[in-house]
A and B are shown apart, each in its own frame.
Chain A
C-alpha cells in the first residue's frame, strides 16, 4: 500500500513568542510525531482531551503551520508550500468538523455552502453546479430541496451530513474528520458512521479520524495511533491495539471503557491522577507519573519508538515485561439469544422500510 500522507517528526508548540515582561508558557501540543497513512485506509488518532490529537489533524491539512517536521502528501512536501501552491491540493484534502453548527455559515443557504467549493475549484457553474449540489445532498441522504434552507433549520445529524456533503463537493481523496460523530446522539451517530463508511467505499476515500470514543474507533478504523500528551505511544492495526494492547497507557485506556454488559462488571485498576499540563510535560516518558509500571529509567530517559515485526510501533522501555504481566483487553459479551434474535428482526424490518423509502 502506498502512503497518501506522511508525518515526519511533527512538532507544534503554541505561545512560543514571548513578549517583553510577559512570559507566555510554551504549550508543547505535538512533540515529534511520525506516521504514514495508507491510501484507502481509515487511520484513527485517539487520545483524551489535551493530548494534541486535534492539533495534529490540523497540522496534517496545513490548517496550522508546524514548528518543526515535514508533512508529505502523495510524495510532495507540503510543509512550506505557499497558500497559492497549496490550493490545488486543498481540493483533495478536506476536513469534517465536530460541531457542524459552528462550522456552517449561518447566513448562507445549504446550496451556497456546498456549492462554494465547487465554484472555488472551478468544477462546475450555474445549472451544472446546482445539479451537483442536488446530487451531493442525495448522496448524504438529504432531500435536494434542502439547498434553499439555512443551517439552523436542521438537526445535528442533518448538519453533520451537510458538512460531509461540503467536504465531498471538491471531490477529495482524503478526509480528516475531527470528532466527526461525537456531538451526535447514539442513534444519529450510527447513521453518520454508516454514511461515512459507505462514502469511503463508494469514492475510494482515505479517512483520518480524530476521536476519543474507543467504540467508534474500533468500529471504523484499520489502524490506530494512540496519543498521550503530544506523542504517539502506540500505533498498530485496530485488532492489535484492542486485542493485545502493549503500551501501559493503551491498556489503561481500554480498561477504563465502561463494560458493554452488566455481567462483565469487575473491579479493575483505575488510572490515577490527571493529564499533566502540556506546558510542563514530565521528563523521560511523559506517561511515567501515572504509569503503574514506571521504574526509575522512565523518569530519566525518553523511550524510543520501536517497530515490531508486525509493524506495530511502541514507545515504552518495558513493554516486554509488561506484556508478561497479563494486562488484557476489555472483556466482551456475546449478545443474549433474545437480543440477537430481535436485533436481527429489527435490521431486517429496517432494511425493508429503507428500501421502500428509496423507491418512493
Chain B
C-alpha cells in the first residue's frame, strides 16, 4: 500500500465510523468532569473502555486517584519519529446551568451540533486524538516511528496532576513533537501561546461594624480602587518579534472572525481578568479582608515581569494590600516553519480545501509544557464555540474535518514526510 493508499484508507475508516465517533463524543460529554473539583474517573473510564474494545493496551497513571491520566503507545515497524498526541479529560465547571437552553451534561445532538460543558474545550479534541490513535494503530505494521496517546486530567487548573506530572515522571511522553487538539478554529494552527500570570491581591484592614466607616479602611473599597487602577495592565506597551507580529497581522481578519472582533488586538496585548473577588462576611460588617484573583495574559515576546512589576507598583500604593503570585508561565512558541505546520496545512487543504494560518493562541494549553522542555508543540482544533459560556457546543461537520486533518497530519509526520 502506498502512502496515498494509506491516506485513502484512513479517510474511509473515518467516514465509516462517523456515527460511532459522534456517539462516543456525546457519551463522553455525559460523563461530567468539571475541574474544580476535578474528579474525572467516569470520563476516563469511557476512554479506557474504548481502548480496551479496540484492543489497544493503555496505562493509567493517577498520582491523585480522582484525577487519572491515560498513556497508550505503539511502535511502528522501524525507527522513526516519535509523535505524542495530547488531550485533556477535565473541563471547566458549570455554574450557570440556568442560562443554558440544553442540559450542560446531556451531550444532546441537535442541528448538526453536540451540546455540553467541555464538548468544545476539549472533549471533542481528546476524542479526535483517541480515534486517530486507534486508526493509525491499525496501520502500525506499515508505519515507522512511534505514536503515543496521552489523555490527562487537571488541565483546567494548571496541570499539576496531569501533563506536568506525566512529563516529570514519565519522560516517554515527551517525544519529538506534540500535537494537541485544543479548540481554536480549523483555519488556524497554533504554534505558540500567551503567557499567564496569576496573582492574588489580598487586602487586610482591621474591619469593624458597618456603621462605623470612619474606624477602619474598608477592604472592599480599597479592592475596588485597586481593581480600577490595575486596568493600567491592559495598556502596557508591547514589543514583539517581527516574524510573530507579521504572522499575527496576516491572520488578523481570521483571528477576529474566529475569536470575535477585538481578538487580533488582544492577542498582541497584555490583558487583565479579575476572575474572582471574595470580600466581606456580612452586609453590615465593614470588611477586613478582600481578595482579588487576577489572571494576566502576556503577549509573545513580553515577560511576566513586565506585568508583575506594574502590579506591584499599583498594589504598593495601598498600605493594606499585598500581592501574592499564584503561578505564571512565560509566553512560549515553537517554530512556525516546523514540518508539523506544513502537514496540518496539507491535510486541511486536502480534506477541507483551505490553508490554515499559523498563529499564536490567546488561551493557554498543556502544549506549553512540551515547549518548555524544548519539544515543538502544535495545536489544531475546532472552533472554540461558547467555551466557558452557556450552550457550549461543537459543530459535527467541522469536527469531522478536524479529525481527518489531525489523522492525516500525524500519519504524514510519522512517515517522515517533509524531512530534509
Partners in one complex: no
Binding site for B on A (CB under 8 A): none
Point out residues on B near A: beta carbons under 8 Å: none
